[in-house]
Amino acid sequence: MHIRCARRFVRYAASPVNVSEFDFELPQSRIATAPMEPRDQSRLCIVDRATGHTTHAVFTDLPSLLRAGDLLVLNDTRVRPWRLCGQRATGGKVECLILSLRGNEGEGFVKPSKKLTAGDTIAMEGGAIRLELLQQQDGGRWRFALHADGGDVNAALERHGRAPLPPYIERRGDEDPATDRARYQTVFARVPGAVAAPTAGLHFTERVFEALRKRGVELAWVTLHVGEGTFAPMRTDVVEEHRMHAEEYELPIATAQAIAAARARGGRVVAVGTTSCRTLETCANDDRTVTAGRGNSSIFLYPGRPFRVVDALVTNFHLPKSTLLLLVAAFAGKERILSEYRDAIERGYRFYSYGDAMLIV
């Protein structure tokens, strides 16, 4: 039986923390606008919290950096092709990112929103899907209806929809959308539901998984459907005042059992990505195990909040002043992470979704 994990929100910091403390200058040239090929050849920065040492490798070295008996926990969510491009009758370009959809009605971001009005119908993807604007919402959102020839909206989205790439990944417009759909997806994606990729998982290949098995590292799975809660910017000056959007998760009984077994044998629980980390900490128990369950998590991990399950973390390099950066800073220490980020910039590391990786032990 699955038990809904209770949301825990307690202020742990002794004094308020300002979001501006997590800002840093990132040159445009360090933002990865295309994926590394092959995907497991991304660079890997290894940060040892116990010794304070930092070393550098490539992602295929990850298995050799873990121990036999460690447990790697990955997020198996699958990104939905819920980004649509089209144009108005006047020729103006329109882009839609669907955040939720029930039947043929949904909500999402439609740009440029200032030139749109309720009642507009816009041809998307060459007319394969028609976007009917119903009502403008707060925060630049729209409520809309989708129409497709034959009436099957989900089938039309699977056929014509695009990968929901972040806006900093530039596209000329002549790229094959199918290429982005394949690359902006982990090789182990299984459960459809995300509107953004769990990017730390993008580095894994079958070659890496085979090496992990030979090393004696075990695997376990959680599902957290990445949504607005993960990528929404912080709009408060004080960290503790930020509220995360809820995201749907599931932690299977088999994963809870695998974590208990790892604890018993002295192995470490290694979260792959901030989404896996947040799922584990949502379901954490005081004895450093987890309770299996499913529900909606709005947990926000920032400096001053403890980690009760995760022993090590595989993650990418994140945006300034983002909830993702705050989570990593909470795990490894603010000053250390900001210092590592400055060093990574100098060394030419690639940042964000298609960028390089970091292992924090």
Tens-digit pLDDT profile for residues 16-28: 889 999 999 999 9
Angle (nearest 5°) at CA 185 between 214 and 81: 155
Element (H, E) at 209: helix 206-215
**Do 19-79+186-360 and 83-161 fold alike per CATH?**
no
Average pLDDT, integer, range 330-355: 97
Whether 317 has a pLDDT exceeding 90, the answer reads yes
- Does residue 183 have a pLDDT over 70? yes
Burial level of 68, CB count in 10 A (0-12/13-18/19+)? exposed
Question: How high is the pLDDT of residue 151?
Answer: 86
Compute CA 300 distance to the chain's CA centroid, rounded to the nearest angstrom. Answer: 14
pLDDT score for 173 = 58
Q: Which CATH class is domain 83-161?
A: mainly beta
Residue 198 in contact with residue 275, Cβ under 8 Å?
yes
Q: What's the confidence (pLDDT) of residue 288?
A: 95
Chain-centroid distance, C-alpha 314: 12
pLDDT confidence of residue 15:
72
pLDDT at 144 over 90: yes
Q: Cis peptide leading into 177, omega within 30 of 0? A: no
Binned at pLDDT 50, 70 and 90, residue 13 comes out as very low
Q: What number does CATH give the domain 19-79+186-360?
A: 3.40.1780.10
Q: What does residue 98 show for φ and ψ, rounded to 5 degrees?
A: -80, 130
Residue 327 Cα to chain centre, angstroms? 12
Phi (first) and psi of residue 278, to 5 degrees: -65, -35
Domain boundaries, the chain: 19-79+186-360, 83-161
pLDDT computed for residue 229 by the predictor: 66
Helix (H) and strand (E) counts for the chain? 9, 17
H or E stretch at 212: helix 206-215
Of 38-42, 114-118, 317-321, the poorest mean pLDDT is in 114-118
pLDDT at 37 over 90: yes
Residue 7 in contact with residue 226, Cβ under 8 Å? no
